[in-house]
Amino acid sequence: MTFKHILFPVDLSDRSAGAAPHVKAMADRFGAKITLLHVMEPPIVYGDFGYLPPGDLCELELSQAKAQLALFERDVFPSHSVERRVQSGDPASVIEEHVKERGIDLVMLPTHGYGRFRRLLIGSVTAKLLHDLSIPIWTGVHMDELDRAALVQCRSIMCAIDLCPKSVALMQFAARLAARCDAVVRLVHAVPSAEIRQEKYFDLELEAYLKNHAREEIAKLQNKAGTQFDVCLEGGGVPEVVHAAALHHAADLVVIGRGELGNFLGRLRENSYAIIRESPCPVLSV
């Protein structure tokens, strides 16, 4: 596993600046090339019968955006050589085009959201990329609050798994990533006991049974993956369990899979947005 070309879409905000140290750290670990991409959305023009197709941006606007991106690079990447690109259009579509045409193998971007409602928001661009792209996507949290000069490290990785066969590949990915970062990996699994409880009388017995079953299945998956990670196993909702485990073990990164939802126990796909919103640290979804 290696990342050779990182795409870093930026809106020139404090959130983008806050994510930059993580981008630099990832590029240094893998010797990757960095491309800064700033996408300008053309204004919507309204006519007599509703809005018209967006018009093209003028050369002056594009020149100003290029100058702003150059200043952004100077401020946040003073010692790195990066490629700068400015383009107009729909941000998600432009990012997808760059991924396909330029050999991008990792997209890194901060999540969206402000104020007390930020945990409820992920941003339409991020959501579309998570749904449409097949390459790994790194998402940061509340990057506007981070100290830009803070030491960026990746010593503790929390890998969220379900009991589907595809978790084997995810654990192997986490193992290879940990080897490159010299990090410790722990697995976290949310037992879906709260979702299928019928009678309170059977709560404790049912939860114990489900946890024992999960431990046995995870042991089988680890045997196939060739890993021996410690396991955090709790009953409850997936986002809440992953959040609590990441906090408890001071995780620097949460790794999740976003493949197809295979069966009843494959709940991570449908919870991926919530995991990213609630995570106390960046999330790498593969």
DSSP helix/strand/coil, 231: strand
pLDDT for the residue 284: 95
More confident residue, 244 or 88: 244
Which residues, including other chains, have CB under 8 Å from residue 173's CB and lie 6 or more apart?
A: 1, 255, 286
Percentage of the chain exceeding pLDDT 90: 46
- Residue 262 is predicted with a pLDDT of 37
Q: Return the pLDDT at 64.
A: 87
- Position 177 scores a pLDDT of 94
Return the SS3 of 2.
coil
Residue 11 pLDDT > 90: no
pLDDT at 274: 85
Beta carbons within 10 angstroms of residue 45's beta carbon: 10
> What average pLDDT does the chain have?
82
Instruction: Give the model's pLDDT for residue 151.
Output: 59
Please determine, looking at this structure, whether the domain spanning 156-285 carries the CATH number 3.40.50.300.
Answer: no
- For residue 141, what pLDDT is reported? 72
CB 105 within 8 Å of CB 3? yes
What's residue 191's pLDDT? 87
Answer whether residue 204 shows pLDDT above 90: no
260 Cβ contact partners less than 8 Å away, ≥ 6 residues apart: 266, 269
* Domain boundaries, given as residue ranges, for the chain: 5-144, 156-285
Residue 15: phi and psi, rounded to 5, are -65, -45
Q: Are strands 137-140 and 283-285 parallel, antiparallel or unpaired?
A: antiparallel
What is the pTM for the complete model shown?
A: 0.84
Least confident range of 46-50, 69-73, 178-182, 218-222: 46-50
Distance between CA atoms of 144 and 229, rounded to whole angstroms?
33
pLDDT value at residue 65: 87
Q: Under DSSP, is residue 189 helix (H, G, I), strand (E, B) or coil?
A: strand
Q: Residue 148 — very low, low, confident or very high, per pLDDT cuts 50/70/90?
A: very low
201 in Cβ contact with 182 (< 8 Å): no
- Among 158, 124, 119, 159, residue whose Cα is nearest residue 141: 119
pLDDT computed for residue 203 by the predictor: 64
Query: What gap in Å lies between CA 176 and CA 182, rounded to an integer?
Result: 10
Q: Has residue 9 got a pLDDT over 90? A: yes
Report the range of poorest mean pLDDT among 99-108, 141-150, 211-220: 141-150
Confidence of residue 142 (pLDDT cuts 50, 70, 90): low
Average pLDDT of span 178-183: 92
Q: What is the pLDDT of residues 90-118, one digit of tens each?
A: 889 999 999 999 999 999 988 754 444 34
Q: Could you tell me what percent of the chain has a pLDDT over 70? A: 78
Residue 122: per-residue pLDDT? 58
pLDDT band at 140 (very low <50, low <70, confident <90, very high): confident
Structural fold of domain 5-144: Rossmann fold (3.40.50)
